[in-house]
Amino acid sequence: MSPASSNESLYTEKEITVSDALDHGLSEEEYKKIQEFLGGRNPTVTELGIYSGLWSEHCSYKNSILQLKTLPTQSARALTKTGEENAGALDIGDGLAVVFKIESHNHPTAIEPYQGAATGVGGIMRDIFTMGARPIASLNSLRFGPPDDPKNRHLLKRAVKGIGDYGNCLGIAVSGGELFFDPSFSRNCLVNAMTVGIVRHDKMAKAVAKGPGNPVFIVGATTGRDGIHGASFASRDLSAESESKRSAVQVGDPFMEKLLLEATLELVESGVLIGIQDMGAAGLSCASSEMSAKGGTGMDINLDLVPLREEGMNAYEIMLSESQERMLVVLPTGKEDTVISIFTKWGLNAVRIGHVTHDGILRVRRNGKLCSAIPSDSLVLGGGAPRYVRETSRPEYLDTLARADLSDLEKSGSAHKSADLEKTLLSLLASPNICSRRPVYEQYDTEVGLVRIIGPGGDGGVARVPGTSKGIAVSTDCNSRYVYLNPRIGTAQAVCESARNVAVAGARPIGITNCLNFGNPYIKENYYIFSECIAGMREGCLAFDIPVTGGNVSFYNESQDGPVKPTPTIGMVGLIEDVSLAVQPFFAAEESEIFLAGRFAPSFGGSEFLSLTTGRVEGQIPELDLSAEKNLVDFLCAASDGSLLLSARDLSLGGLATALFRSAYNHQTRTVNGFVLYSEFIKKIYDSRGAALAYFGETNGCAILSARKSDAAQLIKTAEKFNVPLFAAGCVSAGSSVMDFSEFKMDGKKAAEAYEGGLADYL
């Protein structure tokens, strides 16, 4: 028997066939499964659209969910189950929770960079405040093709402007992020947006529909045709046809979203709410089915009541519209006036469009006709949505590139003489992947909300938790080259580096969210890389005993030129109990001792030096010791808690020399505190290495620290306690801007000019 009630027939606009299903991105097998869920009948046009949206890769995670379930999700701090709410939530004490998530908006940005990036910010913001949390900080992780190409430059500039305009109008500070350039991102740029919010435990909202007969409201903006097929559009490779898919890119209104944010938080505060969900991918189809499936209920929706901004919209279009700044709300019968009053006060729509039912069926009506009657559970992840594990095949290039012999370069290097070393460092500092991101982050408001402790420019940002002494440290990180060369270790390294990025600020890592950017999963080599990355992420998280609270998978970042370099972006959150102990990323003006903490084992494999000087991406990436990484993070947190550090910064792109410059250069004041490295230290780190490898090779598990001379002995004892190697590297030169690397010297002002000028011509 059909899920439609026995006395009500379905309106069938046309006879649906397998061919129609294939046109919607569904397989023949999936179409047969849909028929089974519908009691043996063919779906209506509207039903086919709903299934195509909810069963798309973007919504159902059908090719990734079984892999994702291998990731660690348990934590004593966890307040939500991974994947069951709009975002993850972790306890930070005193009845408060940090709510955070990262998501992609890659395909829309590649087609319409301004709106694509802007609505990516808007969508992730809604995921946070739909939970009842007030956003306090945002970040972004961006990947583009080389900026000397006009098209890449256009995409970058418009995307950055879209991010800035939306976030600035909304009034949420940017705390940090990353920007990386590589030719593989020329046709498929990546825009990953992360938001962090704070909520009281007792005010956390849920995405659920309960209580048959309870009213269902649509609140916020009106519904138009923008964004239709956005979910399925994000579940296919980009091609020349994609240029005509601009209707699949949403259009945002940040001023409307600001009103929606305040109205939503006021509604949550009122205490009458049963459930609320953002209308993101697949729009009303997704929100209605997921809320009812989670509650074990159904919904009856009358689309004639939905506020529209375009004439002639049919049920298919209304259900799949991804128009921005809209929510679906369920509340108890008798509380309708509360939601209407609140949203009217903020100048927003609040219209009852249906009610919760008891039978688990999602019914949709338009023009008095029943257009859809689908079991809600059949649509959703964890219910009837398909789940696959694809075939894998190890790519041949992994072994070929791993065998690359860099020994001659490592022993001597093209930079050997003092003048060559200086020239190489200047080139690295000016290179697009290392130079100052000021032209980007100065387009963002980093001060709004008065929560900033450490803003963009350091390894990780730190925001004050309003009304407390606590701080939240945040970081987004992934070295796409490392993952390309060694998917498993490269992904574990991304977890470790993001942990270091919050630890150098004095925060203890407590959880991650992820945004997994890969090529077409039906290509065996791509799926092998994806599977290996998941395994590496699991190993990294287990090493730090932190959970994955949620995230996003973005497949099909692929064109006729091939896939992007695999980019499993890690969004890390750390907690500082006393934000006054946060550690700055640059040397203080006073004279102090400089230390290198960690096992220094530089490599040119996959390094910026190798790419810059030879144009190659190959070799063995730096060794990774997960226990040593954990020890380093524990040491950094203990040293911060004991007020033993004046500054801390981890070693990453560009190696030791780059990290020393970035420690010496205060990007806020644009001043350089010079330093002198001890010759004894240089001899130790040289060993049998050449100068170029020591200065410009990249290593895991290391940080550059500075401390008062009076605290040096205690810092050494603390390092010994955590079994962390600690080398006395040099001293800060108060009143001087000269950076003395022992083997060569450099005027800090000259280095700063190179560093600040790297992106200036492009942006």
For residues 495 and 458, the model is more confident at 495
Phi first, then psi: give them for residue 122, nearest 5 degrees. Answer: -60, -40
- Secondary structure of 314-328 in the HEC alphabet? CHHHHHHCCCCCEEE
For residue 414, name the pLDDT band (cuts at 50, 70, 90): very low
Give the span between the Cα atoms of 191 and 45, in whole angstroms: 33
Which residue type occupies 218?
I
Estimate the crossing angle of helix 655-664 against helix 418-430, to 10 degrees: 70
Is 157 within 8 Å of 763 (Cβ atoms)?
yes
Write out the H or E segment, with its range, that includes residue 714.
helix 712-721
Closest to 497 in 3D by CA, of 428, 564, 572, 547: 572
Q: Does residue 630 surpass a pLDDT of 90?
A: yes
Name the helix (H) or strand (E) containing 177. strand 174-181
Question: 453 Cβ partners below 8 Å, 6+ apart?
Answer: 462, 463, 464, 471, 579, 582
Could you report the per-residue pLDDT of 183-216, keeping only the tens digit for each?
999 999 999 999 999 999 999 999 999 999 999 9
- What sign for the dihedral angle of Cα 578, 580, 585, 590? negative
Helix (H) or strand (E) holding 749: helix 748-757
264-276: average pLDDT: 97
512: which strand partners?
548, 572
Which residues, in sequence order, are CB contacts of 29 under 8 Å at separation 6+?
Answer: none
Instruction: Tell me which residues are annotated as active site.
Output: 58, 105
CA distance 130 to 122: 12
Task: Give residue 248's pLDDT.
Answer: 56
DSSP-assigned letters across all residues of 360-406: SEEEEEETTEEEEEEEGGGGSTTTTS----------HHHHHHHT---
pLDDT bin (cut points 50, 70, 90) of residue 457 is: confident
- Strands 326-330 and 275-278, by their bridges, are antiparallel
Q: How far apart are CA 130 and CA 285, in angstroms?
A: 17
Q: Residues 385-406, buried b or exposed e (16+ Cβ, 10 A)?
A: beeeebeeeebeebeebeebeb
SS3 71: coil
Q: Using one digit for the tens of pLDDT, what is the confidence trace for 536-548?
A: 999 999 999 999 9
And the tokens for 489? 């270790």
Contacting residues for 81 by C-beta, under 8 A, at least 6 apart:
73
Whether residue 312 contacts residue 272, with contact meaning beta carbons closer than 8 Å, is answered with no
DSSP state of 159: H
Two tokens, residue 736: 């001087």
CB atoms within 10 A of CB 613: 19
Contact 505, 459 (CB under 8 A): yes
Distance CA 187, CA 115 (A): 17
For residues 600 and 500, give the distance between their C-alpha atoms in angstroms, rounded to a whole number: 15
The dihedral built from the CA positions of residue 477, 481, 482 and 488, taken in this order, carries a sign that is positive
> Both tokens of residue 268?
């949550």
Q: Decide: helix, strand or coil at residue 214.
A: coil
| 57 Ramachandran zone, left/alpha/beta (phi>0; psi -120 to 50) | alpha
The alpha helices in 508-562, defined as continuous H runs, are: 524-544
449-453, 529-533, 666-670, 675-679: least confident range: 449-453
Residue 227 pLDDT exceeds 80 = no
Alpha carbon 196 to its chain centroid, in Å, reads 11
Answer whether residue 417 shows pLDDT above 90: no
Report the DSSP beta bridge partners of residue 603.
Answer: 698
Query: Residues 49-105: pLDDT tens digits?
Result: 999 999 999 899 999 999 999 999 999 999 999 888 889 999 999 999 999 999 999
What per-residue confidence (pLDDT) applies to 229?
A: 65
Q: How confident is the model at residue 690 (pLDDT cuts 50, 70, 90)?
A: confident
Give the C-alpha separation, 174 to 163, whole Å: 10
pLDDT for res 448: 76
Q: What distances in angstroms separate CA 651 from CA 497, 597, 598, 656, 665, one per listed residue?
A: 9, 10, 10, 6, 15
pLDDT score of 599:
95
Structure tokens at 680: 């004894």
pLDDT at res. 382: 87
Please give the pLDDT value at position 452.
Answer: 83
CA atoms of 399 and 417, how far apart (whole Å): 34
pTM for the whole structure: 0.94
Chain mean position to CA 695: 31
Contacts of 428 (CB under 8 A, 6+ apart): 434, 608, 609, 612, 654, 657, 658, 696
**Alpha-carbon distances, residue 699 vs 44, 435, 624 (angstroms):** 57, 19, 9
pLDDT band with cut points at 50, 70 and 90 for residue 15: confident
pLDDT of residue 7: 59
Report the mean per-residue pLDDT for the chain: 93
User: Partners of 301 in the beta sheet?
Assistant: 354, 364
Cβ pair 640, 650 in contact under 8 A:
no
**What pLDDT band is residue 232 in, cutting at 50, 70 and 90?**
very low
Chain centre to alpha carbon of residue 517: 10
Q: Give the pLDDT confidence score for residue 230 in this predicted structure.
A: 46
First-to-last CA distance in the chain? 61
Residues 317-368 have pLDDT tens digits of 999 999 999 999 999 999 999 999 999 999 999 999 999 999 999 999 999 9
| Model pLDDT, residue 85 | 87
Domains of the chain (ranges, CATH numbers): 1-73+206-387 (3.90.650.10), 75-204+436-581 (3.30.1330.10), 583-763 (3.90.650.10)
- pLDDT value at residue 246: 43
Q: Tell me what pLDDT residue 615 has.
A: 93
Ranges of H-type helices in 391-519: 396-402, 407-411, 418-430, 438-441, 480-485, 487-503
One-letter amino acid for residue 737 of the chain:
S
